[in-house]
Chain A
């Protein structure tokens, strides 16, 4: 484990990042519970186990940067600072949901927080994210489009078209592969030929690297390196995050494709617990401070749950609104 803080974050900043990771963990645990209780329907893909990726990347983001991802998006929209109440109310399909209950778990967006979804078709968010990067360049904005994709998407044709366009037109895009080893139930070894996934982008002239995605500090360093590269060279960059999801692909996944031993072994490097241990042991942050944060989050999640269940169902007239502007 890399315990050095090369990024010179203050203890306060580090606590903020920990708070966000813990928030995502507790939010997702609550979502799982509500799904089990029948309060959340449809597909529900949890982010548990991958928190260090999104928060490590967040540590390098300028507030104006844009973010887009696929359907495992709860952690991403929370990291972007959207009120968890609105996110949970979307999962419960209520009027106060961030998409007014019309999107669901996979389709959440916030222009104000520069989060562009929330896309349900594997790979489709990648050319769209490149297009957002195109808009940044077109308008001479000093922004980077951050495009998340899974290991599954790395075998999807449009992703390669998007790599080609991003490199050809020198667009400010950071591709982040969240390689959690399984595209639904098919392991990476059974779906992807050849070497490392990120190397599939390097043939288009995109520089990149592979990083331990379970460790906040490693992710953060890599993300800052990537940002500096993109800003300096006006070219895209790719990072492959070695990560793991502790839960199933979705809530309805029986998980027969991997062993309990494998999952338990990965839980030994739980990114949230590792971050906490690093803060306690290496940064000598008082345990009370961390406990206070955790109990605040737990309290907040109770409010989030209450809000998401008390918010009314959408008005029936909403069926026909927002088909066209």
Chain B
């Protein structure tokens, strides 16, 4: 029997073989622990699926980035012939439509990181030492640095402390700051969100984590009616310096109730700041700015981006201002606007777009509210054509509002209708092919670019 590296989380693509707990020739029974596997979220134990003898260990302990479904050992099960070790690596599990599959950033030709390194913002900056780290590490650094700088900053949420964070974003913070400042809450969003808002009204600076923003709906009244409106309705007396953060949008096949982008919801509300970074560097700089901001900030992360790496300054003073977008690729023919995960979707489509002889401006909004209108309008006035890509439902969406703003401010400059590529107006399906279809994809982005460019 082949022992394959199992997928131990919805988003796990590779794992590390931390340790073998058996050696060749050992007898095992079903349920015995064979090895420790490190996933994108935690270190997990791999159990033997049957009774038998460990025939061969194929992957040494300490090996990193082993693809899911790689053979890692052979088990001789009683009454079963041992199979030949194949020379070629095992084929991946059948893809529903492998030709059309969307590559994630790791296999894509153009990475956010390579573009970030070229932008003005980063080339002319300070002489900071930088390190390539993942977005989850970058967020962790931001929280740690700000908690060190300001004792009023504290963190609360489900599984943020002893579990080390459901997505490892808060890993190690309990050990560094103790249970007074890193608090596991009950599964009680309405209550703990209200509590965090009260603590902020009294002068503390909470970081309130939602395990995912889907669960923030339990607390939407507190976010909208208490956090966002108190400054105004108190005539400036009461401000609410709080950050609500956590993963937003569709991860991978977690179904309708766990896959929704809430950017349109929160950006509708005066009094809230809304941030949606696409990469580790921005995530760190913007989270630090958000923690220091005296207003309520909704900081929308994306689970599929947590593992993506970029160069990130290690400095306390590294801040990215709220309200500034980033022109991550400069072109001339069309303006393509995205944020969070959709920046990656746009970059996936970029080779096909360039093949058409079209050179786009690509804008990563980073801040949804306030919006960098100047950056957008300057680009549109140059290219005269706009495509907006958003993961959220298209109906009454942020993208709809953005296209209103653009037609209103750049009417005389537009040479074409504005097209938005949005998530489909359906609850997120579970099946792999349907989920893919529900989200904006490369073909749709390329088609939109062709349409605004009048290319058939």
Contact = CB atoms under 8 A, between A and B. Distances in A.
Interface residues of B, number: 40
B197 A131 contact: yes
A41 interface: no
Contact of B186 (A104, A124, A130, A164): A164
B198 A161 contact: no
Contacts of A109: 230, 234, 237-238
Contact of A135 (B202, B222, B237): B202
B222 A124 contact: yes
Interface stretch (A93-101, A192-200, A265-273): A93-101
A102 B185 CA distance: 35
Nearest to A158: B190
Nearest to A322: B236
Interface stretch (A115-123, A235-243, A290-298): A115-123
Contact of B201 (A100, A126, A131, A169): A131
B180 interface: yes
Interface residues of A, number: 50
A111 B191 contact: no
Contacts of A85: none
A162 interface: yes
B374 to A, nearest CB: 18
Nearest to B232: A322
B8 to A, nearest CB: 31
A16 B193 CA distance: 39
Nearest to A110: B237
Given A99-B235, A117-B234, A161 B191 contact: yes
A15 interface: no
Contacts of B186: 161, 164-165, 168
A103 B200 CA distance: 20
Given A132-B199, A134-B198, A127 B190 contact: yes
A167 to B, nearest CB: 11
A161 B198 CA distance: 14
B202 A116 contact: yes
B410 interface: no
Q: Which of A101, A111, A119, A325 has the most CB of B within 10 A?
A: A325
Q: Which of B180, B188, B233 has the most CB of A within 10 A?
A: B233
B62 interface: no
A324 interface: yes
B235 A138 contact: no
A99 B232 CA distance: 8
A146 interface: no
A129 B194 CA distance: 8
Interface in B15-45: none
Contacts of A98: 235, 237
B195 interface: yes
A103 B226 contact: no
B191 A99 contact: no
A249 interface: no
Contacts of A323: 231-232, 270-271
A145 B201 CA distance: 13
A145 B198 CA distance: 10
A134 B206 CA distance: 11
Interface in B173-190: 180, 183, 185-186, 188, 190
A66 interface: yes
A102 B235 contact: yes
A237 to B, nearest CB: 18
B195 A102 contact: no
Contacts of A118: 233-234
A128 interface: yes
A129 B198 contact: yes
Contacts of A127: 190-195, 197-198, 222
A136 interface: yes
B453 to A, nearest CB: 38
B191 A138 contact: no
Contacts of A164: 186, 188, 191
A123 to B, nearest CB: 9
Nearest to A128: B198
Nearest to A163: B191
A128 B190 contact: no
Q: Which of B180, B196, B234 has the most CB of A within 10 A?
A: B234
Interface string B255-293: 000000000000000110100000000000000000000
Contact of A162 (B191, B239, B295): B191
Nearest to B369: A324
Contacts of B239: 325
Interface string A132-167: 111110110000010000000000011011101100
24 contacts: A68-B198, A109-B238, A110-B237, A111-B238, A116-B201, A118-B234, A119-B226, A121-B226, A127-B192, A128-B198, A128-B201, A131-B195, A131-B198, A131-B201, A134-B199, A135-B199, A138-B154, A158-B222, A164-B186, A321-B236, A322-B235, A323-B231, A325-B236, A325-B294
Nearest 10 interchain pairs by C-beta: A131-B198, A161-B191, A127-B194, A100-B235, A135-B202, A128-B198, A99-B235, A131-B195, A107-B233, A109-B234
Given A99-B234, A158-B190, A160-B191, 9 more contacts: A103-B235, A109-B237, A124-B222, A131-B196, A131-B197, A134-B195, A139-B204, A323-B231, A325-B239
